[in-house]
Amino acid sequence: MSTPAPTAAPEPTPTADAAAAVVVRGVERVFHGAKGASVTALTGIELTVHDGEFVSLIGPSGCGKSTLLRLIADLDEPSAGDIRVFGRTARQARIDQAYGIAFQQAGLLPWRSVAANIELPLQLHGMGSAERRARVAELLDLVGLTDFARSYPDQLSGGMQQRVAIARSLAEQPRLLLMDEPFGALDEMTRERMQTELLRIRAETGAAVVFVTHSIPEAVYLSDRVVVMSPRPGRITDEIDVRLGRAAERGEDLREESAFFEGVTAVREALHGPQSSTPGTARGVDVR
Ligand SMILES: Nc1ncnc2c1ncn2[C@@H]1O[C@H](COP(=O)(O)OP(=O)(O)O)[C@@H](O)[C@H]1O
Ligand SMILES: [Mg+2]
């Protein structure tokens, strides 16, 4: 007896996801302690970061922000769920150097000059020396450190060291930057300057950014979208579209504008609930 020929399944329509920088589906991360105790650091995480989009992850200390970023970077593996970076597995994306990473500590090599630190990833991946020199010059210019090319990290301020780390993360022209509180160790004024700098760099490179912070104003100033997380277990509880205009057009003045304050209020309410206008009610979240 013949069975009817199966009708051809329609071609799957390419979804917006296929072009996305990051797609996180149903991700969970459980850490198992030595004595059988376990911590659910993340559960039910669904997140899409579009190509060229700037997304901040915000939430109190311990809600799993760093864990989520480390999973995307393939520095750790989810207990369940799936992560894609430009349509590739997180592992493949790491092998392909599809992203640059910058953390709270600049992590520079003290025995290498500023230029040599920025050059390192290019050297490791076999770029020729003439090409390397040209690229390093470009990056030094981008972060405003041309005059410090021959300096060593311990001769620089914290803000300058962080600019070197950002230049290094941009060395291979990644379409995605993963940043974990990169300005967390800086004083407030330097931090605001660095934020403006990052917006400018991002406008020039068009890279997508996943940016971890616990500062509400920082998240609002930088982001297209702020993803709000809550702890125990770490999950996404809200997402706020920030509409402050294109990165290239955001200047220091923005911090005085009502749209900025509205964004700050919206994120604060998402973190603490609408009743709470009292600063600092969620532990570990910076409302300055
Ligand atoms: N390697 C690890 N082993 C055990 N527990 C961990 C590990 N990394 C993170 N955690 C736990 O997972 C939770 C989330 O941590 P983390 O992602 O660092 O939070 P955040 O960056 O938001 O402050 C915390 O409870 C933390 O103690
Ligand atoms: Mg963290």
Q: What is the mean pLDDT of each run of 10 residues along the chain (288 residues)?
A: 50 61 97 88 97 95 95 96 96 90 89 96 92 94 92 94 91 91 85 86 90 94 95 94 75 81 94 63 54
**Which atom of ligand 1 is nearest to 29's Cα?**
12
Q: Report CA 80 to chain centroid distance, whole Å.
A: 22
CB 231 within 8 A of CB 282: no
**Angle, CA 262 vertex, CA 257 and CA 263 arms, to 5°:** 100
Q: For residue 273, give the 3-state DSSP assignment.
A: coil
C-alpha distances out from residue 216 to 164, 212, 228, 240, Å: 25, 11, 10, 12
Q: What is the model's pLDDT at position 281?
A: 44
Residues 24, 255: Cα–Cα separation, whole Å: 31
Rg (CA), the chain: 21
Q: Whose CA is nearest to atom 27 of ligand 1?
A: 62
- Return phi, psi of residue 174, to 5°: -65, 150
**The pair of three-digit structure tokens given for residue 126, joined into one six-digit string:** 């076999």
pLDDT for position 286: 60
Whether residue 30 contacts residue 5, with contact meaning beta carbons closer than 8 Å, is answered with no
- Nearest of 138, 162, 136, 135 to residue 150 by alpha carbon: 136
Tens of pLDDT, residue by residue over 120-169, are 999 988 899 999 999 999 999 888 899 999 999 999 998 899 999 989 98
What is the dotted CATH code of the domain comprising 18-98+176-272? 3.40.50.300
The whole-number pLDDT of residue 15 equals 54
| List of residues 6+ apart from 245 with CB closer than 8 A | none
pTM: predicted TM-score of the whole model, two decimal places: 0.86
- For the stretch 1-24, pLDDT in tens is 445 555 555 544 445 566 799 999
Gap from CA of 70 to ligand 2 centroid (Å): 10
Ligand 1: which residue has its CA nearest to atom 3?
Answer: 31
Residue owning the nearest CA to atom 21 of ligand 1: 66
Structure confidence at residue 193 (pLDDT)? 82
CA distances from 219 to 4, 19, 121, 192 (A): 57, 24, 28, 12
Among the bound ligands, the one closest to the CA of 59? 1
CB of 181 closer than 8 Å to CB of 285: no
Query: How high is the pLDDT of residue 12?
Result: 46
Task: Give me the residue spans of the domains in the chain.
Answer: 18-98+176-272, 108-173
First to last CA, the chain: 75
The Cα–Cα gap between 212 and 193 comes to 18
Residues with CB under 6 A from ligand 1: 31, 39, 41, 59, 61-67, 234
Residue 182 alpha carbon to ligand 1 centre in Å: 18
| CA-nearest residue, atom 18 of ligand 1 | 66
| DSSP code of residue 113 | -
Please choose, from the candidates 132, 125, 120, 104, the residue with its C-alpha nearest in 3D space to the C-alpha of residue 168.
120
- Residue 279 in contact with residue 287, Cβ under 8 Å? yes
Residue 170, both tokens: 């941009």
Ligand nearest to the CA of 65: 1
Count the neighbouring beta carbons within 10 Å of the beta carbon of residue 19.
Answer: 11
Ligand 2 mean position to 102 CA, how many Å?
Answer: 13
CB contact at 8 A, 77 and 30 = no
Q: Given the structure tokens 């919206």, which residue do they identify?
A: 266
DSSP three-state, residue 74: coil
